[in-house]
């Protein structure tokens, strides 16, 4: 008799977004570190990441590069990236460089965020970066 194995398959509609909160400055000096920490979150099959920038104090071209890299990586793996931005300065920066339409912009992170089961917990910028999974709505 042949032994049959079944691998559980997670349907895309059941995937939960990973909410990553950045803290501090997202700038040129912190970009390499932030990229190293975000890369595992953006890898894999169909990643959906919500990048919460509400605790970021400063954003420059290096930070924009981090956002573009995360967007490119999630799309390359069939996923998507959303940004939580409440600071009008950051919205103006994205608009000035023509990137406003390149991201899903949210006014708040999902209320239902919960810690990810052994999910990524990363540090970056000049402060902590935390990750949590939120039920997909």
> Residue 101: which domain range?
15-133
* Domain-located, residue 29: yes
Residue 48, pLDDT score: 87
Q: What mean pLDDT is predicted for residues 61-68?
A: 98
CA distance 29 to 78: 29
pLDDT digits (tens, 9 = 90+) for 98-131: 999 999 999 998 765 433 343 433 434 444 455 5
Q: Quick one: which of 88, 93, 70 has its CA closest to 22? A: 70
* Domain-located, residue 3: no
* Domain-located, residue 127: yes
* Domain-located, residue 28: yes
Q: What is the CATH number of the domain that holds 83?
A: 3.30.750.24
**Domains held by the chain: number:** 1
Predicted TM-score (pTM) of this structure:
0.74
Q: Quick one: which of 27, 91, 37 has its CA closest to 64? A: 27
Q: What angle do CA 94, 95, 99 make, to 5 degrees?
A: 60
* Domain-located, residue 1: no
pLDDT digits (tens, 9 = 90+) for 73-100: 999 999 999 999 999 999 999 999 999 9
CA distance 98 to 86: 18
Q: Quick one: which of 51, 37, 41, 112 has its CA closest to 83? A: 51
First to last CA, the chain: 43
* Domain-located, residue 9: no
pLDDT digits (tens, 9 = 90+) for 14-37: 467 889 999 999 999 999 999 999
Residue 46, pLDDT score: 84
């Amino acid at each position: 008799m042949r032994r049959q194995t079944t691998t559980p398959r997670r349907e895309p509609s059941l995937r939960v977004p990973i909410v990553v909160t950045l803290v501090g400055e997202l700038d040129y000096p912190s970009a390499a570190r932030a990229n190293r920490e975000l890369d595992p979150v953006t890898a894999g099959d169909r990643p959906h990441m919500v990048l919460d920038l509400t605790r970021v104090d400063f954003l420059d071209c290096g930070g924009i590069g981090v956002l573009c890299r995360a967007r490119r990586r999630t799309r390359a793996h069939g996923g998507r990236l959303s940004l939580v931005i409440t600071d009008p300065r950051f919205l103006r920066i994205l608009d000035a460089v023509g990137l406003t339409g390149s991201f899903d912009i949210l006014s708040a992170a999902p209320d239902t965020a919960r810690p990810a089961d052994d999910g990524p917990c990363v540090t970056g910028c000049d402060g902590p970066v935390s990750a949590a999974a939120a039920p997909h709505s």
